[in-house]
């Protein structure tokens, strides 16, 4: 089952807020509902958000009553602004929306129905391409996992974070499908517990041996020599290789460097933002303090207590051993090799 897909003239997706307790589907019938699904993390993961936004644009076109192409383009511009504002850090969202707008503006369409058909085709192509790209990345990165390794993973980067298959967990999945024997440690990933809830659920589905560990235990297992490799995802990668990922990634990177452990992020080239020179320019989403004080409605501190809740942090490129993309493993100098990968060259 795909994480998000087009179903009977609307958008259908897995409700990730309810996993692992229940596998439930949500139907979205207008672009406002699509934007809300991104904002409230019904759907999350940069590639999945990008595909969702693309389908949201197609849905806005389908629902529009516009009688002329210029009128429809005006409405699509408003839908694009709404979707882009839903979450600011993951570049795949803006990338997908811009791609759909370019499709709408890129040809001399005679009627609004021609625009509608073109946008639905473009959104479906983004979703299909995501699955293909993830499978390619899985094969590329699987060489990094050796027999009997213990791999540390942070957050969730599996099929749930994409349209299907996964990025960093796609690498784990590919290696496991090749018959390699290894073990995965999953950071719980507070405060929304994407590791404990989503990644562990996916390991269960795949049959990959795993243990959930507290976020604060990663250094313990590194210092003991148990962890041989760190694999995780990215929500936006700057031109110099700095990257934003789920909060807690930076401290894992520092610990890995200190303990001499290879540290890789796995992301499609659509996650690379060459317009940003460094990670200092990446916008970081700050979410409501209630997620810290009462995760999933379960209070661990009084509601009036002060709290801060950055959703992402930025890891400088010098902590990276490499970046796994669909066009190969990008290694330093990232300024040169990332651009080559984005241009479609094998690296």
Q: Which residues are known catalytic residues?
A: 235
Cβ atoms of residues 92 and 47 within 8 Å:
yes
In angstroms, rounded to a whole number, what is the distance separating the alpha carbons of residues 167 and 47?
A: 9
Q: Where are the alpha helices (DSSP H) in 85-207?
A: 91-105, 112-141, 168-177, 200-206
Give every CB contact of residue 304 below 8 A, 6+ residues apart in sequence. Answer: none
Whole-Å CA distances, 174 to 150, 166, 278 = 15, 10, 31
Burial (CB count within 10 angstroms: exposed 0-12, middle 13-18, buried 19+), residue 98: middle
Taking the CB of residue 149, how many other CB atoms lie within 10 A of it?
17
In angstroms, rounded to a whole number, what is the distance separating the alpha carbons of residues 97 and 55?
A: 9
The two beta strands, 10-14 and 328-330, are: unpaired
The per-residue b/e assignment along 285-301, b for 16 or more CB within 10 angstroms, e otherwise, is bebebebbbbeeeeeee
Cβ atoms of residues 127 and 54 within 8 Å:
yes
Spatial strand order of the sheet with 312-315 comes to 272-273, 236-238, 243-246, 312-315
Number of residues assigned to the chain: 347
3-state SS of 320-335 is CCEEEECCEEECCCHH
Please give the structure tokens belonging to residue 56. 């949201």
The two beta strands, 263-266 and 322-325, are: parallel
In angstroms, rounded to a whole number, what is the distance separating the alpha carbons of residues 229 and 321?
A: 10
Please give the structure tokens belonging to residue 255. 């610990």
């Amino acid at each position: 089952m795909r994480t998000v897909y087009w179903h009977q003239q609307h958008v259908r997706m897995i409700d990730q807020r309810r996993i692992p307790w229940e596998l439930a589907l949500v139907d979205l019938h207008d672009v406002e509902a699509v934007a809300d699904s991104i904002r409230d993390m019904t759907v999350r993961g940069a590639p999945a958000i990008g595909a969702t936004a693309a389908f949201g644009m197609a849905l806005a076109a389908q629902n529009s009553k516009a009688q002329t192409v210029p009128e429809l383009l005006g409405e699509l511009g408003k839908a694009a602004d709404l979707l882009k504002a839903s979450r600011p850090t993951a570049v795949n969202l803006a990338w997908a929306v811009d791609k759909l707008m370019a499709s709408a503006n890129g040809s001399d369409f005679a009627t609004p129905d021609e625009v509608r058909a073109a946008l639905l085709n473009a959104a479906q192509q983004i979703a299909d391409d995501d699955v293909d790209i993830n499978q390619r990345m899985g094969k590329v990165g699987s060489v990094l996992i050796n027999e009997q390794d213990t791999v540390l993973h942070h957050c969730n980067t599996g099929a749930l974070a994409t349209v299907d298959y996964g990025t960093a967990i796609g690498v784990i999945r590919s290696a496991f499908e090749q018959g390699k024997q290894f073990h995965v440690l999953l950071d719980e990933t507070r405060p929304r517990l994407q590791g404990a809830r989503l990644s562990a659920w996916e390991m269960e589905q795949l049959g990959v041996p795993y243990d959930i560990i507290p976020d604060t235990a990663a250094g313990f297992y590194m210092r003991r020599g148990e962890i041989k490799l760190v694999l995780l995802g990215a929500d936006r990668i700057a031109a110099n290789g700095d990257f934003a990922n789920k909060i807690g990634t930076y401290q894992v990177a520092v610990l890995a460097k200190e303990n001499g452990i290879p540290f890789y992020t796995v992301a499609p080239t659509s996650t690379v933002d060459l317009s940003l020179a460094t990670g200092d320019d990446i916008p970081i989403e700050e979410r409501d303090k209630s997620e810290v004080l009462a995760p999933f409605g379960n209070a661990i501190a009084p509601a009036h207590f002060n709290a801060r809740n950055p959703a992402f942090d930025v890891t400088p490129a010098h902590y990276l051993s490499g970046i796994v993309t669909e066009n190969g493993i990008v290694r330093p100098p990232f300024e040169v090799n990332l651009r080559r990968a984005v241009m479609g060259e094998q690296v």
